[in-house]
Every structure is written in C-alpha cells, then in structure tokens.
Structure 1
Amino acid sequence: MKSIWGRIGLGALVLVLCVLVAGMVWEPFAAREGQVPASSRVYTAEIIRDDFGVPHIYGATDADVAYGVAIAHAEDDFFTLQDVAAMARGRYGAIAGQDGAQVDFMYHLLGSRETAAREYPRLPADTRALFDAYATGLNDYAAANPGEVKLDRLFPLDGEDIAAGFALRQPFFFGLANVIGPLVAGEPLNREQGPAIPGVSPDGEAKPAEDTVSPVDAADSVTVASLPIPMGEDAAHAGSNAFAVAPEKSGGPTILISNSHQPWRGGVAWYELVVESGEGWHYAGANFPGSPFPFLGHNEHLGWTNTVNTPDMVDVYRLEMDESGTRYRLDGEWRELETRTVTLPVKLGPIVLPVRRDVHRSVHGPVIVNDEGAFAVRYGGIGNLGQLDAYYRLNKATTFDEWQSILARMDIPSTNFIYGDKSGNIANIYNAAIPDRVAELDGKPVNWRGILPGDDSRLIWPGPVDYEALPRYTNPASGWVFEANNNPFMDAGPGSDLSQDDFAPELGIEIKDTNRGSRGWRLMSEAERLDRAALERIKYDTGYDRGGYVARMLMEVAQSKPRSPDAKKARRMLSEWDFTADGIGEADALALLMIRPFMGADYQNGEWPDAKEELERATEHLMEHFGRLDPPMSDLLRLRQGEGENGVDLPLDGGSDTLRASTLWDVDDDGRLSVRHGDSFIQWVEWLPGERVSSRSIQPFGSATTRPNSPHYTDQAALFVQHKLKPVHFWREDVLAHAASRKTVTSAR
C-alpha cells in the first residue's frame, strides 16, 4: 500500500515539476520570433561623453548616428530600454507580471503591431534606415552584454518593432487610458459634459460595477483602471511649462525654455543627448527610451519644446449587436465583428502563466465588451505612424516656414509646440490631430462628449481637422508665449490672447486652467522686460494664485470642525499660510500634503476630497514622522536616489502645480516624500543676433539613472536642487574641450 501511495506521490511531484518547468520556459518559445533589420550595411559612430556623461554622437550619416544613439542609451539605461522593447513585442507581462500584462492587452487591443506592419513600409526610406540602425544598435549591445538581458528571445529587434512601440504609446499622451480603462472595467466614464455614459444611470448616479470585465484576471486581480503604460505626464497630475520670448521683449536674445514635467525614471523619463552627422543632422535635446531621435531641443537655427494638451480626441460608440454577439449593425447592414484570441504572458514568481483573452475590432476602432454592451473607440491619430518621419524632419528643419509645414501635416497626434529661432520668431501651436467631426446630423447637434450611436457611418470621421483650424500664436505683440497645460486662450498676455469664441465647440479644446497657467500668465504679463533674471524668477516661482481649487480647499478647511487639537492647530496654520511652497513658512509642509489630492480632483473632474479628512490625514502624518506640524518643508520633500557613494538625499522646494514643480512622490518609510515626477529635463536656449546658439540644461539625477556604480548616476542632483543649469556643449570644439571619454562603435555586421 505504501508503495502505491509512494508512486502516486512521486507522480504528483513529477507532474508539478513538469508544470513548473513548462511555466518557466514556454513564453520565449511561443513569442513572435524577432527579425534582424533587412539592411546589411555596417554602421560606425563616435560617442564622446562630456563632464556629466551626456553622450555626443557623431557619424557620417544619420543612420550611423542613430546606431550610436542606441549604443549610448543602452550603456546608461539598458534596463528601461528592454522594458520598452518588451512592450513593443507584446511581452511586457513576462517581465512585469500583471501590470505588464495590462500593457500587453492594450498592445493587442489597439492593434499596435498591425499598425506598424501596415504603416512602417510606407515611411520614407531614410526614416526607415534610421529606425533599422537604431534597432541594430540595441541588438549589438544585447549580444555583447548577454548577462544584462532580462527576457529570452527579446532580441533581435528590427525597425518595425521600434515603430510598434510608437504605435502603442502615442495615444496615451492625450488620455486614451482614461476612456478605455473604465470601459474595460465596466466602470463609469468621467467625461466632462458627456451624458449617457456606461455605468451611469439617467439621473447621473454612478451604478455599482459589481461584475467588472478585466483584460487579465490571473487570480482575478488585474484591471486596467491604472495602466502602467508610459503615458507621458501623469494623467491625474499633468504638467510641463514652456516659455518663448522675442528679442524685443528680452532685451537681447530669442529665449526658449523647455521645462518638461515627466517621471524621473522609466519609459518616459528624458534622456539627454547631442547628435551630429555629415548629412546635416545636428541637434541637442532629449528623447524617450525607444526613440532614435530627440523629441525636443534645438538645432543651430531653431528649437521647440512641448507641453501636454487635452483636447477631446476620443469618441465612444455603442454598437448594436445581434443575438449571437458576433455581428454589429452599420447603415442598416450586419457586419462581422473582428475577434481574435491573444495570449498574455503573466509572470508570477518563477513561472509565466499564459492567459487567453479575446480582443475585438469594428470599422470604428477597438471594441470593448462589458456588462453594459459593446463599445467601439475611435481616437485622433488612429492608424497613423507619420510622427516617426515628422519628428525626424523637425530635427533637421532650418526655418520657421519649413518647421511649421512639417507640423501642419498633422502626423503628430497631440502636444503643444512652443517655438523659437535665431531670426527672432516665436510661436505657440496648439498641435492636435483633433477628429474632423460634424457639428450636426439631420439638423440636430451631435453630442461628441456622450456615447454615439454606432450604427451610422456618418459619425465615423475620416481623419483630423485642417491645421488652420487649430489655435496658434505667431510673433504676438506681447513678445512672449507661455504654456503650462492651461487652456490655449491665455498664452500670450492681454491684447495678444486668442478668443475661445473663434473656435468650433466640436474641436473639444479644453477650457480649464492650471495654477501654473494662471500664475505664469500673470507674472509674464506684469513684467516690463523678460530677460534672463526675470525669467529665472518666474520659472522657479513656488507660489499659488489665491483662487481656484486652492482657495476652495482653504475655505472648506476653515469651515471644517476637526476632532483633534493637532488638526485644529493645523487649521489655524493654513488660515495664515502665505500661498507659497518655498519652504520658508511654518505651514508649507502642511500645505504641500494637503494640495495634491485637491489638484488631482480638479484636473480630472474627480470626486472632491473631504477637507476635514485630508486635514486629519496630513496632521497625523506630520506628527507621526516629525513630531510637529511645522517641520521645514525641505525636511519633508526630498530628492532621493540610491545609497552609498553615488546616492543622494537632498532637500527640494516647489509643490504640485507650482511653476517650480515637485508634482508626484512616493512616501518612504521615514515619512519623507521622495519625488518621482515634476521638473525633469530643463533646457534654456538663447540666440543672440550675430552669434551662435548657446544652451544650458539640467536633469534631476544624471545621465545613467539605472547604473548605481556610474559617476553619472546622480551627478546633476546638487545643481538641480540649487536651481542651477550646466552648459550644453553643442559645438564640437566645446565637446572636445570637455570630453570625459571618447570611443568609436561599429556594428557587428
């Protein structure tokens, strides 16, 4: 009898081991096999790193430079580059588990690979050459450093893989996740002015979402309510500032200030670089992991920066389905709903689980089926990968007319562009591939913010509006333009601002303002001259205007009736607060903790926090970790990265929605706030008449944010917290004078 049970036990153990081994090895073999770029050319690039480790990449051709960009970036942050590559292959769940599987679901739902396969071959040959060279650089680095590779068979990559990464990520910069996430989860959509939302009853009350639909439910625990996909500026706390000043207002140069607010680590953290080729590509700026070219910065002639805008770029259609659930009605005819089953890898400990999910598509776009029905989603820029070529051409533009003609192609789906050049031109373009919607149908206005009927093809717009329909400023009389994610009707000052009445409501242009927007507009408008000193004061301003959500929060705090003596004291302190986050006032730390949830609610039209509860929460936090309500704000707010010789733990200023931005943070075990999002890559560019362009820049950490042993892991942090910038060595003789290392890299074939 014992031998029988022993054999059964042994068999069960063998079965468990087989399942475990299968779970550990199946995913790489099931994955789409990578392809080496078709080109057989050999690439050669020179990489010179300056005192701060910033790579300056030179090559005979643009493709040589792109190869060098990949090598240099991999040397500094191959860890993140692999995450981005896995997203572009639909395999991120095999690295990041359930969070990664959510990204993979979006990859399949949006048809990112299909878009890349269709559109990449249509790009100009020199653009494709750039992407193939970049992929080759990543492949060569992976082959030379196999111990750093996180996922089997992730490499080789080709240009189409890099393009698929763009196709996946580009829609999330204008908030697509805010629509798709709730639809997938069967939760209410929070769309301003939009009635008839799934999950919301006719009287506006939210229905409980008891049986939500999730893209992955390994252990029934994964939703897309908070996608970890790189989405640019955090959806709930969007940020970025930008300034451009004409010579007559500055008293000398054209000034362009790029003040982006991005995560300080990960897939949309800025990476600074300078590129120069024998084919006329010479540009200093920053890119995101997975890009062969900078997204913002300057060349010899001109430059630009970006801020996120939030026009209504997404439309939702309710499909009329037949009884089988496989066909939908359009223009009186039944059409087959495209459905395919995909396998999502979900890493769970040492094994990777295969999770099967169906993804659907109609002629409108991706389709989400939940308990309320079937909903198709269509968004600006859908199916278009022209931005891969547009950014490349913008890098090499030499005049404002040429630069604007590229932007006018409407290939870059969103983000404001703030521009300056050596001729003294400045501009602010509300760039967005806004759907070309009809205002009326059959004599009735169309509510594009609501749920549209999916059975009428007249509501399926063919593409974006014309460039001429967008708000834009060119050389305004004020002599300056400014942007801080505010509405585009407060960007150039009194007498120069555009009027909201001049733009059609179906464009869906946001009309909300931010504290940064209103305060920056006022400070810029009040300045007689916007020279370097004045702009530095404005850029690093830590104040809040005495209005909007901050004023409402303080009013409700004053009216609250807190329970504890500490909270009552905190209420009094806030009543005397000076509306700054400069770290000087006794209530600054308290106000810092209070403001962020109210800002998030205001930005996202979310549920307004309870002032008394937030006051109690902030009070308890300060008393628990500091034993007082008035610790110096710099003791609370910290710039932290790593430990040991290259680690830093430095004081910060600024707050959520101040021009000096410390927007998002993690709460560490000691109660300190470790900032992870806010002022990130800052670049200050000046063109003086008759002189060559010059610029300065700074990052919160350094050029090698995932290499703790690198001297450039945190070597910019001390300057960053002191509001200082370092020089950008744009010209080769300056680079050689400040070279810390120099080498030549050549492709393996």
Structure 2
Amino acid sequence: MTWLKGSAIALAGAVGLGVAGLAAWEPFFAHAAAAPAAPRTYAAEIIRDDYGVPHIYGDTDPDVAFGVAVAHAEDDFFTLQDVIAMSRGRYGAIAGEDGAKVDFVYHLIDARGTAAREFPKLPRETRALLEAYAAGLNHYASQHPGEIKLADLFPVNGEDIAAGFALRQPFFFGLDSVIGPLVAGKPLRPEHGPDIPGFPREKIGDGSAVAAAAAPTRAGRRLVLPLGEEAEHLGSNAFAVRPEKSGGPTTLISNSHQPLRGGVAWYELVVESGEGWHFAGANFPGSPFPFLGHNEDLGWTNTVNRPDMIDVYQLELDASGTRYKLDGAWRDLETREVILPVKVGPLVLPVPRTVHRSVHGPVIVNDKGAFAIRYGGMGKLDQLDAYYRLNKARDLSEWQGQLARMAIPSTNFIYADKAGNIAYVYNAALPARPELDAVTADWRSVLPGNRSDLIWQGAVGYDRLPKLINPASGWIYNANNEPWTAAGARDDLKPADFSPVLGIEEKQTNRSRRAYKLLSEADKLDRATLARIKYDTGYERAGYVATLWDALAKLKATGQLAEARDLLLTWDFAADGKHPADSLALLVIRDFMSAEYGNKPMPDVAEKLQAASDHLTEHFGRLDPPMGELLRLRQGKRDLPLDGGSDTLRASTTWDVAEDGRLSLKHGDSFIQWVEWLPGQPVRSQSIQPFGAATTRPASPHYTDQMKLFVDHKLKPVHFWRTDVVSHARARYRVTNRS
C-alpha cells in the first residue's frame, strides 16, 4: 500500500539514514519490548504417535504448557515466529507492507496496552500457564538459533502471548472489515437492517426470493488483513447427535474450515497433566491450550458466527482536530505516534504513523472525518481463562458456567457429552445497547459520537443469547448460518423472540441448506449417514446458486461462451468429480459465494463464465476436464486430486492458482475430529489433517503423511489414553529448561 511505502521512502531520505542503520535499527528499537519472566524450571514428556501427533505429559499444567510450545515449535517454528512478531508489533519486519498493516492495527486497538492492563488480572494459574508456554518458546529458540528469522524476537513472556490474543480475537467477527474501509476513506456498507429492495431475507423452506443471501450486513463486511486467513471465506460445520437418534453413541463432529497453513491453521495435540488436565483437540499457533476437542467427559467445537458486534461513531472535532465534543463538552483526543517496521528488500524502513483514541474506542481519521470504533470484548482478555477452564469442565452445567461469563467474544459452540447431552450456544459478547427506536439511534448505521448515552458498556447477559439444549429432534448442527435453523422445524428458535438490537445475523449458507435438509430427512443418524452428510458435495438451487443459474438460463451468448453456458445448465449440482461440468462450476461458483459472504454485489455472470472458460481451455484444452485434475491438494512433492467445492459440506473453499493452471487448496476442510461416547465405555475419537503434523518441515515423515487419508475421506485414530499412546509411540522424549 502506498500509504506505507511512500512515507517510508520519504522518511529514509529525510533523516539520511545509511544502509547499515536501516538494517540494524529495528531489532535495537524493539530490544526492550518484552522482558522474560522470572526463571522457573519446567519438564514435560512428549510422545509422538504413528502420525507424529504430540501427546504432552507433565506433573503440572504449566509443565504441559511448556511442552506444548516445544512440540509445536518442533513442527512449525516458522509460523510461531510470525505470531510472536505480530504480538509485539514487529510483523512488518518479516512480511513487509502486509505485515505493517497488522502492526498498525496492533497499535490502533492497543493490543499491548490491553495485555499489560489485563494480564495481571487473570487468575494466578492461568498466568502461570501462559508464562510456561512462553518459556517453552524461549527454550526452543535458545536451542535452535539458526532458525530465528528476526533479531531480538526472543525471549518472550506471558504478556506477549496475551497481546497476541488481544490482537487477533476481534478479527473473527469482522473488525478488519470496518478498519479497512475507514483507513481507505471508503463508505461502510449497511448492516443488518430492513429488507433491501431486490434482496429480501430468506428462510429455509419458506419459498421466498432466492437472492436473500446478498443482503448487505455490517457483520459480513470484509477487507482482509493478513492474519493467515481469507476472512471472506470463514466457515465451519459442526454436528452433535444424541444416542436415541444415532442408534448408539453420543456423537460430536468437528469440521472446521480454516487456512491449511499460517497463523490460524489448526495444530493437533493431546495434553495430560497430574492436575487433571486431559484433552484432545487442536489449537492455533500462539496458544497454550486447545480451542476445541474433547476430554473424557465432554467435548465441543466451534463455527464462526457473524453478529453485529461493532458500532462506528462519527466524532465532532474542533478546528484544531485535537478535541472532540461529548455531551456538549470538549475532550482531548488521545493521540500517539508509533513506528511501523516495513521490510523492503534487505532493509527494514521505519514508517511513522499516528493512532488516536476516544472514550468510545480506537479512532480513525480520514478525509471524511473522525470515526470511533467500539466492539464486543474490547479491552478484555478473560477468554484466556475461560478456554482453560472449558478444557477442564466435567459436565454441561460447569461448561455452560464458563460460557455464561461472556468472556469468549464470539463463535458458535456445539457441545456433546458422555451423559447424552447435546447443546448449541450462539456465543457472542453482544453489546448491551440501549433499546432505542431507530429515530433516536439507528444501530445499523454510523452513530453520532457526541452522545454518551450511545456508548454502551459491556455485553448482554448469557440468558439473552440464542441456545438449544437437548432438542427433541436429537440433533444439532451449524454451518455458519443464522441460529434460527439448528435442530429441525419442531425445535428451531424463533427470531421474533430476540431483540433486533442484539444484532444477530439472518443469513444462510449452502452448507446450512444442505445440512438442514439431509439431517431433517434422516430417520437415523448413524455413523454411515453422518459420514455421507459430512462429505456431501451437493448444492441447493437457492440463494446465490439460484441467482447464478437463473442468470445463466437468461444469458445470451455465442461460440465458446454459449458452449460453456449450455454445459453448466446440464450440471447435477454436485461437486463430486463425476459430471463433465464440475470443473467449470467450481471456477464460476466461488466468486458468487464470496460476494454473498462479503455482502458485495453479485459478479457479472458472462464475465465470470468467460474467465472460467478461458482458464480451462488454456490449461486443459477443453471445458470439461475431470475436476480431480483441476482441484489439487499439494504439499512438497505430493499432489493429489480433491473433491468438494466452495460452500459444500465437503469444503474446498479457496485456492491458489498454480502456473500449470491447477488449483492448490489453501482454505477449506482442515482439522476434522469425530468423537463418540458409547454408554458405559470410555470416549473414543478419530481425526485428520490435510497434510500432517509437521506442516513446515519438509524433511519430516509427518510433512504429508495424512494427505491420502484426507482426500479419501478417511480418519485416523486419536490415542487419547496413555496406554494406547505408548503402544503407538514412534518417538518418546523429555524436554526441560533445566540448565
């Protein structure tokens, strides 16, 4: 972005810095950013199973957290360093302009200030966990100095780990989609409001207009900052089934859709301590504990929800631009200068930026004025403690007690346990907005910043969130859809029972339509039936799919474009690699899905069809190559065919286009875990990753060893119990920071 590059070059010329100075200033400048914690001795045992998945054991929970950091660094120290650099505002020194965007947001939302203020308030045992995790990273870094890619990045401490959470947590509900347009001075799209002409809302089965999914909503606005994922394509599927519906076990299926690589790619692990922490699941780089999975008694998974948790206020500034009016009085706008490191070739240039803050929250000043942002969970880090407690919860009541704290800012939770309970919670720190009429305050638009009564405090109570416990249908699902379709027609919640001020989204996905239909039609949801649903590749002719196909049917075309149109009109709406139109459909559909997810105008059908046709004829010499030749799972030298599509339950969502014209999957089905509790039997589970445990270690046997299972719709066993782990051990060793 030129807003970085131009100022960096100008600054470099103005101060007359030499090449040596430009190369050396950044680590020197950052050297004192984080001091190491007081020394403590940690010791953990790591056992790696047949697939290299680490099972980490320790006498205490901090011992285990230390081992989690070491094990993850052994497999992906490359990505962990990126995450640590983000948590210290230094990512631009690694990733250039893209990294500097993240660093700007780090300063704008005051991630470090939040960590410095809130980390000491966390319970002692939670702080100890984060300090131990930091010690594990420091230990690995000290033992492998040749792998370090940024000087003085280590040592780190617990506050650094907390700062990483403070930075990343609001991006899961779309903060980037507000910051991006405001920085660029672009208009914000309207959010959840009344029906927009031409885009009425749609409910499953009500026969209303098919273009509902295109209705703009603020929660869906996206301008991606490079935190490792394409926010426009966030997604996941989750299923929970009671024994009476499955005919046997209580079942929990976690089917998260995350990037296959990077800072929010799943890392699988099993942890067990002498203090009762025993959990199998997955975390993101930079976390000492799993975010989803199961213990002996219960488990949960998550899907991204899209509530309106962000409000924007336009401030009234005085002539100097240094004060804003609130309740008739002028207040000083908090302003500070920050330096963004920006890597350009061999140099790291210092780029000055100004960040502002009002009592509302972060402030962005552009040529249209000054805009303050307030969002759910702002300035809080309670989620660090809540996730830790969830890992150790033993029953539904204890588990709900942690969610009831409203500490975890967003994401749906789908739950199951050994007692046969299942649950769905539309979890979100929904702002406690005053119930005012639209004339007084339209929460769907930019709000006046001169009224303190519009500055809400905290979140609504847990009792006001949509939730379902043990519905009569015996099943629950979510596929990033509105909470009004979750358990079947008899049990579904009614939107009229929830205030519109809560900002709950009203939107479906194709995955939701398919799951709802298939689950509702099934007499029994046994393992075979659930597997067919989970790996379903079908599309419903509804929403943006119907919009696209209706436009195709009306499209006037000749030549190759007409041939492509006619081929698509014969399609069977299944991305299973069996129809000659599959490749063409795969290429065309994704941008329409993206428009729906991002609440953008639908693309031009002729333009997208022409581009897809040109791509296929250029690289394959035909319009109908087998989809498996086009869509690939690639890692190192392994190159395998894939099925599934954008927004199918078997998700192959986004990809990179390689030089040979093939599509290399980068986001979609990622960590999958299938958990079962049979009456009177210990929990058992299976899982799979797209590549393997060691995602950035090409020399490791676990770099690609799960790929064939993944493309074949197969799972591998999770060795939850120690006796089982030991019998499948391929490596077993102890790690400690003792000198």
Name the TM tier (shorter chain): over 0.9
Structure 1 position 716 matched with structure 2 position 722:
no
Deviation of the 1:55 alpha carbon = 0.1
- Asked if 2 retains the 8 angstrom alpha-carbon contact of 1:557 and 1:615, the reply is no
Structure 1 position 628 matched with structure 2 position 622:
yes
Match of 1:204 in 2: none
Letter in 2 for 1:347: K
SS in structure 2 at match of 1:236: helix
Alignment partners' CA distance in 2, 1:457 and 1:738? 61
Alignment partners' CA distance in 2, 1:445 and 1:528? 50
Deviation of the 1:707 alpha carbon = 0.4
Structure 1 position 244 matched with structure 2 position 234:
no
Alignment partners' CA distance in 2, 1:244 and 1:291? 26
SS in structure 2 at match of 1:440: coil
Deviation of the 1:548 alpha carbon = 1.3
TM-score when normalising by structure 2: 0.93
Match of 1:7 in 2: none
Deviation of the 1:602 alpha carbon = 1.3
Shift in CA distance, 467/230, structure 1 to aligned 2, threshold 3 Å: farther
SS in structure 1 at match of 2:350: strand
Shift in CA distance, 387/87, structure 1 to aligned 2, threshold 3 Å: same
Aligned with residue 679 of structure 1, among 664, 669, 672? 669
- Asked if 2 retains the 8 angstrom alpha-carbon contact of 1:438 and 1:446, the reply is no
Alignment partners' CA distance in 1, 2:394 and 2:192? 42
Alignment partners' CA distance in 1, 2:31 and 2:551? 56
Alignment partners' CA distance in 1, 2:37 and 2:566? 69
Match of 1:306 in 2: 302
Structure 1 position 475 matched with structure 2 position 470:
yes
Alignment partners' CA distance in 2, 1:300 and 1:42? 29
Match of 1:411 in 2: 407
Match of 1:348 in 2: 344
Structure 1: any 5+ residue segments left out of the alignment? 1-14, 196-223
Deviation of the 1:567 alpha carbon = 1.5
Match of 1:219 in 2: none
Match of 2:95 in 1: 96
Match of 1:199 in 2: none
Match of 1:607 in 2: 601
Structure 1 position 590 matched with structure 2 position 584:
yes
Q: Alignment identity in percent?
A: 68
Alignment partners' CA distance in 2, 1:661 and 1:457? 45
1:178-207 residue CA offsets vs partner (Å, 9 max, x unmatched): 111000110121233569xxxxxxxxxxxx
Match of 1:273 in 2: 269
- Asked if 1 retains the 8 angstrom alpha-carbon contact of 2:44 and 2:736, the reply is yes
Aligned with residue 529 of structure 2, among 529, 534, 544? 534
Alignment partners' CA distance in 2, 1:675 and 1:328? 48
Deviation of the 1:239 alpha carbon = 1.0
SS in structure 1 at match of 2:232: coil
Letter in 1 for 2:289: F
Alignment partners' CA distance in 1, 2:40 and 2:262? 32
Alignment partners' CA distance in 1, 2:34 and 2:23? 23
- Asked if 2 retains the 8 angstrom alpha-carbon contact of 1:698 and 1:726, the reply is yes
- Asked if 1 retains the 8 angstrom alpha-carbon contact of 2:91 and 2:102, the reply is yes
Alignment partners' CA distance in 2, 1:188 and 1:708? 45
- Asked if 1 retains the 8 angstrom alpha-carbon contact of 2:192 and 2:505, the reply is no
Deviation of the 1:37 alpha carbon = 4.0
Match of 1:215 in 2: none
1:109-136 residue CA offsets vs partner (Å, 9 max, x unmatched): 0000000000000000000000000000
- Asked if 2 retains the 8 angstrom alpha-carbon contact of 1:58 and 1:276, the reply is yes
SS in structure 2 at match of 1:572: helix
Aligned with residue 386 of structure 2, among 371, 386, 390? 390
Match of 1:505 in 2: 500
Match of 2:226 in 1: 228
Match of 1:324 in 2: 320
Alignment partners' CA distance in 2, 1:148 and 1:381? 35
Alignment partners' CA distance in 1, 2:396 and 2:597? 33
Deviation of the 1:695 alpha carbon = 0.1
1:479-537 residue CA offsets vs partner (Å, 9 max, x unmatched): 00000001100000110100011000011111110000011011000000001000000
Alignment partners' CA distance in 1, 2:640 and 2:188? 40
The runs of 4+ residues in structure 1 deviating greater than 6 Å are 15-18
- Asked if 2 retains the 8 angstrom alpha-carbon contact of 1:340 and 1:358, the reply is yes
1:314-373 residue CA offsets vs partner (Å, 9 max, x unmatched): 000000100000000011110000000000000000000000000000000000000100
Deviation of the 1:153 alpha carbon = 0.4
Alignment partners' CA distance in 1, 2:346 and 2:146? 18
Alignment partners' CA distance in 2, 1:178 and 1:17? 37
Match of 2:116 in 1: 117
Letter in 2 for 1:640: R
Shift in CA distance, 17/106, structure 1 to aligned 2, threshold 3 Å: closer
- Asked if 2 retains the 8 angstrom alpha-carbon contact of 1:169 and 1:230, the reply is no
Match of 2:149 in 1: 150
- Asked if 1 retains the 8 angstrom alpha-carbon contact of 2:191 and 2:445, the reply is no
Deviation of the 1:566 alpha carbon = 1.7
Structure 1 position 567 matched with structure 2 position 583:
no
Match of 1:202 in 2: none
Match of 2:5 in 1: none
Shift in CA distance, 549/35, structure 1 to aligned 2, threshold 3 Å: closer
Match of 1:554 in 2: 549
- Asked if 2 retains the 8 angstrom alpha-carbon contact of 1:439 and 1:445, the reply is no
- Asked if 2 retains the 8 angstrom alpha-carbon contact of 1:115 and 1:383, the reply is yes
Match of 1:200 in 2: none
SS in structure 2 at match of 1:90: coil
- Asked if 2 retains the 8 angstrom alpha-carbon contact of 1:312 and 1:507, the reply is yes
Alignment partners' CA distance in 1, 2:734 and 2:413? 35
SS in structure 2 at match of 1:26: helix
1:419-457 residue CA offsets vs partner (Å, 9 max, x unmatched): 00000000010000000001216x945211101000100
Alignment partners' CA distance in 2, 1:661 and 1:352? 39
Shift in CA distance, 55/249, structure 1 to aligned 2, threshold 3 Å: same
Shift in CA distance, 431/16, structure 1 to aligned 2, threshold 3 Å: closer
Alignment partners' CA distance in 2, 1:664 and 1:745? 38
Alignment partners' CA distance in 2, 1:46 and 1:188? 54
1:84-104 residue CA offsets vs partner (Å, 9 max, x unmatched): 000000000000000000000
Structure 2: any 5+ residue segments left out of the alignment? 1-13, 195-221
Match of 2:514 in 1: 519
Match of 2:78 in 1: 79
- Asked if 2 retains the 8 angstrom alpha-carbon contact of 1:703 and 1:713, the reply is yes
- Asked if 2 retains the 8 angstrom alpha-carbon contact of 1:194 and 1:450, the reply is no
Alignment partners' CA distance in 1, 2:91 and 2:542? 43
Deviation of the 1:414 alpha carbon = 0.1
Deviates more, 1:20-29 or 1:35-44: 35-44
Alignment partners' CA distance in 2, 1:192 and 1:559? 31
Match of 1:178 in 2: 177
Structure 1 position 740 matched with structure 2 position 730:
yes
Deviates more, 1:544-553 or 1:25-34: 25-34
Match of 1:465 in 2: 460
Aligned with residue 616 of structure 1, among 603, 610, 615? 610
Alignment partners' CA distance in 2, 1:344 and 1:705? 30
Structure 1 position 367 matched with structure 2 position 363:
yes
TM-score when normalising by structure 1: 0.92
Query: How many residues in Structure 1 have an aligned counterpart in Structure 2?
Result: 700
Alignment partners' CA distance in 1, 2:303 and 2:44? 32
Alignment partners' CA distance in 2, 1:370 and 1:350? 32
- Asked if 1 retains the 8 angstrom alpha-carbon contact of 2:224 and 2:232, the reply is no
Match of 1:41 in 2: 40
Structure 1 position 264 matched with structure 2 position 260:
yes
Alignment partners' CA distance in 2, 1:367 and 1:358? 10
Letter in 2 for 1:536: A
Match of 1:31 in 2: 30
Alignment partners' CA distance in 1, 2:398 and 2:179? 37
